[in-house]
Structures are given as structure tokens and as C-alpha cells.
A and B are shown apart, each in its own frame.
Chain A
């Protein structure tokens, strides 16, 4: 019971803190799930983000559903997503009446900018962490750079990037297998 309450609390807080777009929310997920509670790993967050871009609906809600699945199975996913949406719902209902007026104050706007800068800094830190985990060999670094270039120049949809990486990965695995077997042959000759 205590575990369930903690789970609810964690995802409620994630919902409350999740300002901005996916990159910002990813930071919040990392802070809460990896650094504070050690429930998932870096790779899980990357998988969650990738899959949730492909899937339908809000990206951040998808990512939360995936991570909930990872931590506590299907019902974990259901509970996590519901907890995640409750906090924004409450905030939105509370400020329903006077929100548009509040936005006109310049203090509010620059305060929001301060918040955004904080998110940027944390984002930088956590992407560097992720990069250390993911970009372990030259091949992955090459794929990373190519994907960045393609994304910047052609602005293609993320589905095509993922599909392309998938195909390249499959080709690479089979290509390397052949290479390895060729490498082993001389050794076998020596032993003989």
C-alpha cells in the first residue's frame, strides 16, 4: 500500500512539474525517476521518448505510460498516466477564470522565462549524461551525427528517422556477423 501511494505521489509531482515540451518533461522524468528514486535507467527514458513520438496522442503522456509499464506492469501504466494528468487538470481548472489576464503582466512573462532557462540548463546536463550512455562506439556517434544533420536540413518526420536507424541497425548487425566469421578463419587455420 505504501509503495502504491509513493508511486502515485511521484507521478503526481511529475505532472505538476512538467512545464513545456517533451525535452523539458524528459528532464523532469530523469530527475524524479532516476536520480531521486532509482526506478528506471537512462536507456528506458530514451526508449520511452522514442516510442512515444511514434505513438498517437500527447508525447509526454505516452512516455509516462511507458515508464509506468516498466515500473509496475500494465496497471502501473494506467495509474501513472492518470496521476500524471490529474495535476495539470487541477491547475487548469483552478486558473480557468483569470488566466488570460495574468499573462499580460510582464513580471509573469519574465518569471516564465526564468523557469525556461532552468529547464534548458537541466536539459543540457541530462543529455550529456545520456550521450555518455548511448554513444559508446564510433558507429553510434556516426549515426547520431547523420541523424542530427538530416533532422536539421530536411526536417523529416521522426518516424522516418527511427525507421532509417532501424534498417541501418539491421544491416550493420548482419554485415558485422559476416566480418567476424571471416576474421576467425585464419585462426582456425593456425590451430590446424
Chain B
């Protein structure tokens, strides 16, 4: 019974939270209050933790809430329920795009939209850069910039895989910034 309830809760969150991970939070807080599957401090902890674990924030919340409520099966059900709306929406919109893409007028319009989309991408990465290269009181962190330059040169001249490079840079980062 809890599994079914969990399924519908996360289906609802997946279908109605527009705007990514942070937009799911109001629903999650509301759900936490109603069901008692997780406490408010628990949600704050997930927020901190999900910066460092793979996967979207909402899926991480789903896993933890599911684990709290019903163990591993709860986690799996919550994750599946959460992505069902995404799969449906994207399946439909991909077909729509395909249909209008070959139309000359539509492809011109899509080009303009792509330029605006690129702008959104760049502005949304500002927080990423701020937390990587600046300290908390807005001064430049030179160690980080040095490491960044090192990584840039490193990625130019070798053919390691993404995950290997990620590991290497995190180890170097850990050593020089402790």
C-alpha cells in the first residue's frame, strides 16, 4: 500500500514540477509534512549531498524518501514514477519537432530559438562558475584558477575518459586545497 502511495506521490511531483530540481522542493516539503516519510532537516541534508552525488536532485530525493518509506523497492518505485511524465512529454515533443523540422519556415524559427537557448545555458552556468572559481566573499580563488588552467592544458593533450579526468582533478583538488 505504501508502495502505491509512493508511486502516485512521485508521479505527481514528476508531472507538475516545472523548472528542474529546485521546483520540486515545494512539493517535496508538502509531501514530507503530509506523509512523514522524511523530516525537514533530512531534505536540507539531501540538498547538500546531491551536489556531490550523480543524478538529478529530484531523483536523489526520490531515492532517499523511498528508502525511508519502504526500503530499496520504495526507492526504485519512486524513481520510476518520477521519470514517467518526463518520458511521455519528451516522446511526444520529439515527434512534434521531427514533423516541423523539415519545413523551411520552421527550421528558420528553430535557429533563432536555438540562439536564445544558448544564451540561457550560458547565464545558467554563472552559479557554477561562481562556486568553482570564487570564494564565498566574491574574491578570486587563485588555486582554483591554476587548477583550471592545468585541467585545460591536460584535456588538450591526452585522451583519458571523462570519469578518469574527473577523478584525477578531484584528487588534485583535494590535495592542493585542503
The residue in B56, B75, B91, B133 that gathers the most chain A C-beta atoms within 10 A of its C-beta is B56
Chain B interfacial positions (CB closer than 8 Å to A): 14-21, 24, 45, 48-49, 51-60, 63-64, 67, 72, 75-76, 79-80, 82-83, 85-87, 89-91, 93-94, 97, 105, 108-125, 127-129, 131-133, 144, 147-148, 151-152, 155, 162-163, 165-166, 169-174, 176-178
> Contact between B21 and A59 (Cβ–Cβ < 8 Å)?
yes
Q: Which residues of B contact A110 (CB under 8 A)?
A: 173-174, 176-178
Contact A147 B113 (CB under 8 A): no
Whether the pair B119, A144 counts as a contact (CB closer than 8 A) is yes
Q: Which residues of B contact A145 (CB under 8 A)?
A: 119
Tell me the interface secondary structure of chain B in the complex: helix
- Secondary structure dominating the interface of A: helix
Give CA–CA (A189, B172) in the complex, Å: 71
Write the residues of chain A forming the contact surface with B, with a CB cutoff of 8 angstroms: 13, 15-24, 26, 28, 31-32, 43, 46-47, 49-62, 65-66, 69-70, 74, 77-78, 81-82, 84-85, 87-89, 91-93, 95-96, 99-100, 103, 106-108, 110-123, 125, 127, 130-131, 134-135, 139-141, 143-148, 151-152, 157-159, 161-162, 164-166, 168-170, 172-173
> Contacts A23-B124, A111-B171, A169-B112 hold; do A87 and B132 have CB atoms under 8 A apart?
no
Which B-chain residue is minimally distant from A159 (CB atoms)? Answer: B18
The answer to whether A53 and B120 have CB atoms under 8 Å apart is yes
Greatest chain A CB density within 10 A among B15, B79, B86 is at B86
23 contacts between A and B (CB under 8 A): A18-B54, A19-B52, A22-B20, A46-B117, A52-B86, A58-B24, A58-B57, A61-B56, A61-B83, A62-B89, A65-B86, A85-B59, A96-B67, A99-B53, A112-B52, A117-B151, A161-B120, A165-B112, A165-B115, A166-B109, A169-B110, A169-B111, A170-B109
